[in-house]
Structure 1
Amino acid sequence: MRAVKTVISTAGNLKRENPDMDEVNVLLICLRAIKDANVPKFLQDDLKLFNGIVSDLFPNIKEAPVDYGILEEAIRKSCIEAKLKDVDGFVTKCIQLYETTVVRHGLMLVGPTGSGKTKSYEVLAAAMTSLKGQPSASGGNYEAVRYFVLNPKSITMGQLYGEFNLLTHEWTDGIFSTLIRRGTVATDSNKKWYMFDGPVDALWIENMNTVLDDNKKLCLSSGEIIKMTEDLAVASPATVSRCGMVYLEPSVLGLDPFTECWLKNMPDIMQRFSQQLNSLFKRFLQVSNWFCSSLSM
């Protein structure tokens, strides 16, 4: 609701600043902003309900599709280069991830194992890097992306953010504070993504609140403040409301892309059995997966 309220307030300000603007254009801006902020975080079943609500709020308003032609083409090309199948649903999620990065500097990729969370940002980063310098659909130009991946649960809070030595009272930088500091002084124009790949913990995520705020500042216990130069169960509402959310579902991919990619990447000596294995996968894999899922319920 915070996101919806912000969008409506922004549309009102836009109308007041441009009193001669056609009201239909204001509604289209408002509609697109609401969809961009909320659609990526919904499940497939919830999306039907959301579309119904939006159609009631904006009757007779038809939204013109945004042209992501070169980005979509680059994403599909990156999928092929990474030996992945360019499933339409996966490509859509990559585009939604891009849209979220445009309006949010902090976001969460959420979903079960096998939904494509890791591959989505890897493919998008490769696609944006390949399009460096070309005009983007959101305005401006695409920029190359460098991402840094770390598991915040595999180290202590001191190793992550930095800490004082209790004996010498000397400050030692943590991994994340070091990465942020290097990123702020870098002279290149590349985008830098810091990926916390692991379960959300109440300790490390709450320390990120100052970074996720609009002021984009990392406040260390040493008293130093590092300002960024670029414009869930245990996470509190304060943290969640600061983040963009992109939810990925395994049902979007299905099992076929996994089996196809696995068969293509088999050693040459095994390629002669690919047709038989593919036949067995189609015959037994989906049924056995459904059976195991029903037992877990």
Structure 2
Amino acid sequence: DVNLFLTLLNDLFPNIHCPEISYENLNRIIKEILIKQQYILVSEQIEKIIQLYETMMTRHSTMLVGPTSGGKTVVLNTLAEAQTQMGMKTNLYTLNPKALSVIELYGTLDPLTQKYYLYVGEWTDGVVSMLYRMINRPAIRNERRYIVFDGDVDALWIENMEFMDDNKLLTLANGERIRLQDYCSLLFEVGDLKYASPATVSRCGMIYVDPENLGPYPIWKRWLSMNLTDRSNEKDQLDLLYDRYTKNVLNFIYHGLTETGQRPRMKMIVPFQVNIIVQLTKLLDSLFLPLINHEKKDQLELNSDKIHAIFLQAFIWSFGACLKQEDRIILDTFIKYLSGLSTVSIDSKAKSGQLPNEKFLLFDYIFQPELDQWIKWNDLIPKYEHDRSKRFTELLVPTIDTIRLGMIKTKNISVHLKYTISISPLLENDNIDLEWLIKSMITIHQPVLFVGDTGSSKTATILSYIRNFDSQYTNLILNFSSRTKSIDVQRSIESQLEKRSKDTYGPTAGTKLIIFLDDISMPKIDQYGTQQSIALLKLLIEKHGMYERTGELNWKFITDIDWIAAMSTPGNELL
């Protein structure tokens, strides 16, 4: 669309050249910040940062619009850091407006003390009115303060923001008026403008961030740069493996493209390719990095065949974990074809540089670097011994899926859990992999989401795993329903936390809290397609904190929490 627009502009104004304004100092600082944080320099992303800077020079309300995984947060944070290094100290105050009710956002008058037709009564501030007062306090020279509304736009809460007009006035329900100072601005980080009115759009500057400009490769390159800077051999081998598999498999899953033609598109839980690559890097964090970060005396000798086998193990469980069982079979065949490795006979054990017998799927095996072998999950299932002292609900018969799930991790839904797994209804001996998946992700403190139909043993397997944690961990189990609100979730979490410092909270010192969110998709969806409790979790998991709901409404940093969630397949259909 950009190229089409520029062509039309050239037709309307022929022979007129409009020179671009050069921000040499800003450009240099932006590149230095991105390189320091080990991001890959993408010209389109740098251009978006410049566009945001230019827009905010003329607008006090600006919207960053675009689907998740486009880099909106990186654009915003990089500009804030760049302005700080240029002598304009920039502070960001982030909230998710959909995590709170309108009253909690803007404040309320106590109806018991309010006099008839008068703005007199006991006034209680909301989070927005509190932040509005705070950023309007006298500032030091060249300071910038931005309120960032990181959440969906709807006609309910945003139409109350009359201070987006040029008069910059916030009028509260008690009649008080607060004017936005020149060093303050409002930023909106939203996925789309489906429910934004023309009046709202006309009051804001607009920057669209297209995920296609970023793509999955910069995510992969950044992971290599952050973790394998001094391991050039392993870095090069993994990059070659990425080139061999990733583009072909992404086209195969999302577009149905093969080397000889096209097939029907697979049903995938995760709609964005970037999220799949993030899952791949997280599994490599758990499976590969510990092998090279051990002390030299404990390090395994990693040749190219072992690296290939470990990469395959992570690859099939990052790409295949979000597919239905029938699609996993097709994907397995395609990955084996791309690998070019030979298969062993049905009675032989495959080593690195080989693949198990073609009668079995790679999903049925785990590669163990210490043994240099592909081991069947079936061989890892412990013998079931009945414990009569346990209640019926605490009993779990181990299967392939329960073992595997205890060792992995999963997805990015609107709550932004970082790893997603699709679970089909369990068959016999289909339970062991759950333990493997959970262990792999909890080890690196990565949130996990399990998606599957009713009867696929998600809850039973996860509860069984949680009960076996050592004393270092405590747990909180939250069962969601259609009536679950964000205040219910926040109060339940706060009941497990203690104050550790001025604004930092966590579980009892020396312990970590694992929160299991069961049926996370159950809360009622409002008329604008948002679930309030999910909006709170999005803020809490991404920003590691939340605002108090009473009192001074201070921001609370939350630490030492790991997350596991389970939900049914959305609408009983994959995306």
TM range, normalised to the smaller chain? Answer: 0.7 to 0.9
Aligned length: 241
Equivalent residue number for residue 159 of structure 1: 104
Using the TM superposition, give the Cα deviation of residue 272 of structure 1 relative to its aligned residue in structure 2, in angstroms. 6.3
Using the TM superposition, give the Cα deviation of residue 270 of structure 1 relative to its aligned residue in structure 2, in angstroms. 8.5
1:125 corresponds to 2:77: no
8 A contact 1:213–1:242 mirrored in 2: yes
Quote the sequence identity (%). 41
Cα distance in structure 1, aligned partners of 2:30 and 2:229: 28
Per the alignment, do residues 293 and 226 of structure 1 end up closer, same or farther by CA in structure 2, a change over 3 Å counting?
A: farther
| Residues 60-99 of structure 1, C-alpha deviations (whole Å, 9 max, x = no match) | 1112221111111111111122221121111111001111
Structure 1 counterpart of 2:157, from 194, 204, 214: 204
| Residues 247-269 of structure 1, C-alpha deviations (whole Å, 9 max, x = no match) | 11112112221001112223899
TM norm structure 2: 0.40
Cα distance in structure 2, aligned partners of 1:69 and 1:75: 10
Equivalent residue number for residue 201 of structure 2: 240
Question: What does residue range 56-205 of structure 1 map to in structure 2 within 5 Å?
Answer: 56-132=11-87, 143-168=88-113, 169-189=121-141, 190-205=143-158
AA of the residue aligned to 1:229: Q
Using the TM superposition, give the Cα deviation of residue 167 of structure 1 relative to its aligned residue in structure 2, in angstroms. 3.9
Which structure has more strand as a fraction of its residues? 2
Q: Secondary structure at the match of 1:214?
A: coil
| Residues 184-231 of structure 1, C-alpha deviations (whole Å, 9 max, x = no match) | 1223231111100111122111112x1111101112122111110117
Between 1:184-193 and 1:285-294, the stretch displaced more is 285-294
| Residues 126-172 of structure 1, C-alpha deviations (whole Å, 9 max, x = no match) | 0111011xxxxxxxxxx221111111111121221111233455211
Cα distance in structure 1, aligned partners of 2:138 and 2:30: 27
AA of the residue aligned to 2:216: L
The root-mean-square deviation of aligned C-alpha atoms, in Å, is: 2.1
Per the alignment, do residues 185 and 283 of structure 1 end up closer, same or farther by CA in structure 2, a change over 3 Å counting?
A: same
TM norm structure 1: 0.75
Cα distance in structure 2, aligned partners of 1:271 and 1:52: 44
Using the TM superposition, give the Cα deviation of residue 234 of structure 1 relative to its aligned residue in structure 2, in angstroms. 0.7
Equivalent residue number for residue 251 of structure 1: 212
Equivalent residue number for residue 452 of structure 2: none
Cα distance in structure 1, aligned partners of 2:43 and 2:55: 18
Which structure has more helix as a fraction of its residues? 1
Cα distance in structure 2, aligned partners of 1:286 and 1:159: 46
Per the alignment, do residues 128 and 268 of structure 1 end up closer, same or farther by CA in structure 2, a change over 3 Å counting?
A: closer
Per the alignment, do residues 292 and 163 of structure 1 end up closer, same or farther by CA in structure 2, a change over 3 Å counting?
A: farther
8 A contact 1:218–1:225 mirrored in 2: yes
AA of the residue aligned to 2:67: P
Per the alignment, do residues 270 and 203 of structure 1 end up closer, same or farther by CA in structure 2, a change over 3 Å counting?
A: farther
Using the TM superposition, give the Cα deviation of residue 104 of structure 1 relative to its aligned residue in structure 2, in angstroms. 1.1
AA of the residue aligned to 2:101: T
| Larger RCO, structures 1/2 (Cα 8 Å, 6+ apart) | 1
Structure 1 counterpart of 2:243, from 282, 285, 288: 282
Question: What does residue range 10-89 of structure 1 map to in structure 2 within 5 Å?
Answer: 46-89=1-44
Cα distance in structure 2, aligned partners of 1:112 and 1:289: 19
Equivalent residue number for residue 262 of structure 1: 223
What are structure 1's unaligned runs of at least 5 residues?
Answer: 1-45, 133-142
8 A contact 1:255–1:286 mirrored in 2: no
